[in-house]
Structure 1
């Protein structure tokens, strides 16, 4: 809904609606009459102050949003910031920063050796597990069957 800006001296259906909202919120004791007079202006100021708004007595988008419980309109006061391009990754094909490429690193992480990754990422690369490896027995730290003769070791 596009509510109009209202202030002292305004009148009409929108002022009646404003007064009804102020009355429901407990800020206006008089009956809505459609005239934005001193009682309505005082009620608006009290409501604005309670909502942490600029208590100027005029009803604009922020006051309407607070009264109706709708989202406040976005006010484009600052231009939207440009997205951070991140590090220069050496063009479309490389995923390694140019500074590392200039130091001799391959342009793509897929071309790095495990030793290069280990040195750069400080221990994040671990040895690979192969399917041919035999699993080692592991001691189970749980209750086993009373009649078990293997001592709780699972192969």
Structure 2
């Protein structure tokens, strides 16, 4: 911005600088695509941020310098029946969020999921991101050996994710 003068109050007013340049049709298209991708990313309930944070359903954890990845479930074929109860690994006494692998279980923060981690002895539960109904919408696991995370909501198979 460029200064345009001062008034008697000592406040300096700034006039905007403008830049005029020609953009090719390809440049405008690429710019529009980037804007759509950025806006679509803002609408998702999961955020991974370069400053080392994971936010799911209003709960945020800081992972330090690590840029966390939140994995999503892949649809199962064929769908599996919902278990009577969740199967989760034992919790970690004191969690270091930069060592966890994060999984988003549901697309909504209204209803969480019944979740299983198989085998449960191959991971430890570091954090749960609860939905409004108290069930997890996301989890963070410290994985020691390969596990499969599986989730159901309302009796519907939401899918699974393999973690190493």
So what's the TM-score if we normalise by structure 1?
0.19
Greater share of residues in helix? 1
> Where is the strand percentage greater, Structure 1 or Structure 2?
2
Larger Rg: 1
